Structure 1
Amino acid sequence: MHIDLSGKTALVTGSIAGIGFAIAKGLAASGAEVVLNGRAQDRVDAALIRLQQAVPAARLHGIAGDVAQIDGGNAVVRALPEVDILVNNAGIFEPKDFFEIGDEDWDRFFEINVMSGVRMSRAYLQGMLKRNWGRIIFISSESALNIPTEMIHYGMTKTAQLAISRGLAKLTRGTGVTVNAVLPGPTLSEGVETFVKDLARQNRQSEQEAASSFVKQHRPGSLLQRFAAVDEVANMVVYVASPQASATNGAALRVEGGIIDTIA
């Protein structure tokens, strides 16, 4: 299968590092004109340089703006009025005891993880419907279905993304637009790599041993038995963004290594 996204413009929110950056790289390598997004202009500029080095022929742009804030999201939309592919990737997580999670934490997680995608989708979906082609992809998590007791507020937001993506998909009935959610599991992004290095040092293990031990202990249901690579998640997103995925709509697509123990 050859995925060609030439002529398509893609916006990936929260894409200066981690899964978002890997998604941007995959879309750029497939020919899309890619717009990186982050909160700070200097970090966006640095990510653009790294991505241009990784995909020399890529057509790239960067827009600084905090999509978790109304003003920041509006600034992004003013700078980029139309997109063909929207990847709602911006998000945060934080392990925290339920009894220590205050109202301000619940509000913050909802604004960043849920409302950022709502606002961006509201801004771009109508244009996609008018042009009769478009892709909206929410980066959810296996935590949407397997709510982690150590960060219930995070799991709540990831479940909400599934509800929103499914509801939006129903608005695309009979068109060339699709809306889907992708559910990564434990993934070796930059932040997780630092965590694994610290764990390896503490336990006098290799990084590979530390990562494997962590997954076996904390995600024992994993069939993959390791962290996924960011590119493995990005590969699913690139496919869902492609014309070849035209019959995939309203779906929750797992890239979680088999942690969720269900066949449905």
Structure 2
Amino acid sequence: MDLNLTGRRALVTGSSNGLGAATARLLAAEGATVVVHGRDAVRTRAVADSIIAAGGTAHIAIGDLSTDEGADAVADAALAGGPVDILVNNAGAYDHIPWKDATAGVWAETYNVNVLSGVRMIHRIAGPMRRRGWGRVITIGGGLALQPMDAQPHYNATLAARHNLAVSLARELKGTGVTSNVVSPGAILVDSVQELVTSIAPAHGWTGTWAEIEAAATEDWIPNDIGRFGRPEEVAAAVAYLASDRAAYISGAIIRVDGGLIRSAF
């Protein structure tokens, strides 16, 4: 399927590794010019170079989106080569802090990094999309927005806020040619997740090859209908579809890429 992304310009925040990097690579493979964003110039440049080596077109934008100054720098770099047609708000952070250690300060900082960073980029990028009459804003959310755990309450809440703001933005952009949607991953096998699972495997009795550990961890920890962790490329594929003309009739939607982890009728 031709997603008709050739000639489009995409900014993927937090794309120096993990889901963001996979998304940037796939959008570039589909013909988009991609702006790779990160705070670390070396890692960010490495992703952009890998895209270029594969025949794609990529530029970089360096900056900390948790500050207005950093967001300005990223927006300026992203817009320097032309208007941005696709904004993927992926940047964010998580930890494993339980309720008792999640102070008000931790909540505030997590909200700033995971929610306000995206708001900053929407303010800087979505306005020009509206004026041109075409654009895609895609927010990376997560299943914990709908079914939160007892731990990481501050992180769970920021995912719910990301979902909420994306749907609100869709209502705001009604009739403009700009859509706003959410891609909501389940447990995805990025490097940090594999490292975590490997480190806790002995305590849970998950042994054997990585395939055996993954199967056991899936059954005990994140039971789903597919029986494994998702792959970054599977999340990226959902983003690429929503970024395309093929998804012009989809706005305010939450697309779950979680193997059926979230047990919801809606």
Tell me how far apart the structure 2 counterparts of residues 45 and 64 of structure 1 sit (CA, whole Å): 10
1:67-95 CA-to-partner distances (Å, cap 9, x unmatched) read: 12211111111222331000000011111
Q: Is the 8 A contact 1:89 1:139 kept in 2?
A: yes
What is the DSSP-based 3-state SS (H/G/I as helix, E as strand, rest coil) of the residue aligned with 2:35? strand
Preserved CA contact (<8 Å) 1:196 1:207: no
Residue 35 of structure 1: SS of its match in structure 2? strand
What residue in structure 1 maps to residue 250 of structure 2?
248
Distance 2:164 2:201 in 1: 38
Deviation at 1:201, TM superposition (A): 6.7
Name the counterpart of 1:209. 212
Partners of 1:12 and 1:87 within 8 A in 2: yes
Amino acid at match of 2:211: Q
Percent of pairs identical after alignment? 36
Retained in 1: the 8 A contact 2:65–2:117?
yes
Alignment correspondent of 1:30 = 30
Q: Which runs of 4+ in 1 moved over 3 A?
A: 196-204
Give the 5 Å matches for 1:65-80.
65-80=63-78
> CA shift at 1:199, angstroms?
4.4
Separation of aligned partners in 2, 1:153 and 1:178: 28
In structure 2, give the amino acid aligned to 1:106.
Answer: W
RMSD between aligned residues: 1.4
The CA distance in 2 between the partners of 1:242 and 1:120, in whole Å, is 20
Normalized against structure 1, the TM-score is what? 0.95
Unaligned runs of 5+ in 2: none
Match of 2:129 in 1: 128
Q: CA deviation at 1:204?
A: 3.6
Q: Which runs of 5+ in 1 are unaligned?
A: none
CA distance in 2, matches of 1:59, 1:51: 7
Q: TM-score, normalised by structure 2?
A: 0.94
Match of 1:8 in 2: 8
Contact 2:51 2:57 in 1 (8 A): no
Q: 1:112 — aligned with what?
A: 113
Equivalent residue number for residue 177 of structure 2: 176
Indicate if the aligned counterparts of 1:199 and 1:210 stay in contact, CA closer than 8 A. no
Q: For the residues of structure 2 that align with 1:219 and 1:193, how far apart are their CA atoms?
A: 14
Structure 1 residue 98 displacement after superposition: 0.3
**Aligned position for 1:262:** 264
Q: Which amino acid aligns with 2:76?
A: R
Q: CA deviation at 1:50?
A: 2.6
Residue 242 of structure 2 aligns with an amino acid whose one-letter code is V
Matched, 1:19 2:19: yes
